[in-house]
Amino acid sequence: MVFNNNCNLFVVSEETARLSSERRRLVLQAWWPNAEERVDGVEPFRWESEMVTLRDLTFDESNDAIYYVDHEEEVNGLRRARAEEKRREELQRRGDMRVPPGQSGTLMLRSSSQPRPLENLDIDDGNAVRLWMLQSVRGQIVGGLRDLVLHFQAVGRVTSLAGYAESARLRHFESAVIALMSLQEGEPIGTRLPNLLTVENWIWNDYRDYYALFSNAADVWEKAHLLKLGDSKSTFRKHLGEWRAKRRDSSGEVNPDYRQDTSLHPIFRAAFPELIPVIDKIELRARPRGQH
């Protein structure tokens, strides 16, 4: 059985049947083309693969599509990034330091005489890291969140992953930062979502591996009222109830569907020192039973 949506293929096999039985939910094997090789015109291009559940998929009713990876956006985003890099190189070659029309912020040119702003960023300065995140989310620094992760990797604060695992982790990290900065600002930024309620729902449905951080930040920053926690019909209240009831299975082990990604917590520790106590608790609860 194979379905093709947004260049995503979903395959049912003996392996997915076994995993479906073990996890007690439908598991499919998702396949999608390597975006860089498509943009480069490499033929035949490689295919990436991941075992997924229905919760991992995006159901795009407007385009009658179901996909795990928004491949066309990956391709278009890569093309835009390369066009932007080419434009910057041309500006640098001409020595043009002006900010292009329709853009704001610092034009970051690469040269020995003008280092990129990140090279001077003190990652132990929480205000500086948080400002970098905010400017990145607002679009004032192109590729800023990706560069931030690379910088933490370069200084040994974060371990790098291989292949698609790294790009998937970066996508989840960027979404988590958008959600957290929106929560802190009190309104959505860096996203077309209309309000904080939809931001919370987005993280719950698509990036649940950061839900503990988001929900705890709402408490620490006293923003839970913006998510209508006091309303008995609040989806935030409903999600919190499910989270507390199901984050561990009947044996006390971490439920795979509610597992939190703590691998980039050093970045959040630097940016939000006030969240360090809750980050400590999240990491403690994420450990396998018996390792507490």
pLDDT at 115: 35
Query: Residues 7-15: contacts with CB within 8 Å, 24+ apart?
Result: 7/32, 7/33, 7/67, 7/71, 7/72, 8/32, 8/66, 8/67, 8/68, 8/69, 8/71, 10/52, 10/66, 10/68, 15/51
Type of residue at 89: E
Burial group, residue 227, by CB count within 10 angstroms (0-12, 13-18, 19+)? buried
DSSP line for 75-140: HHHHHHHHHHHHHHHHHHHHT--SPPTT--S------SSS--GGGG--TT-HHHHHHHHHHHHTTS
Residue of 35, 133, 147, 40 whose CA lies nearest to 158: 147
| pLDDT, tens digit (0-9, with 9 covering 90-100), for 65-108 | 888 888 888 888 888 877 877 776 666 565 443 433 333 333 33
pLDDT at 69: 84
Task: Using the predicted structure, report yes or no on whether residue 149 has a pLDDT greater than 90.
Answer: yes
Average pLDDT over residues 40-50: 87
Strands 8-11 and 65-67: unpaired
Residue of 142, 130, 74 whose CA lies nearest to 103: 142
pLDDT above 70 covers a percentage of the chain that reads 87
| pLDDT, tens digit (0-9, with 9 covering 90-100), for 232-258 | 888 999 999 998 888 887 777 888 888
pLDDT at 93: 60
pLDDT at 43: 85
pLDDT at 197: 92
Neighbours of 117 (CB within 10 A): 16
- Least confidently predicted of 39-48, 110-119, 120-129, 266-275: 110-119
Contact (Cβ atoms closer than 8 angstroms) between residue 264 and residue 166: no
Longest dimension (CA), the chain: 65
Strands 47-53 and 27-33: antiparallel
pLDDT at 104: 34
Peptide bond connecting 44 to the previous residue in cis, omega within 30 degrees of 0: yes
Is-above-0.75 flag for pTM? no
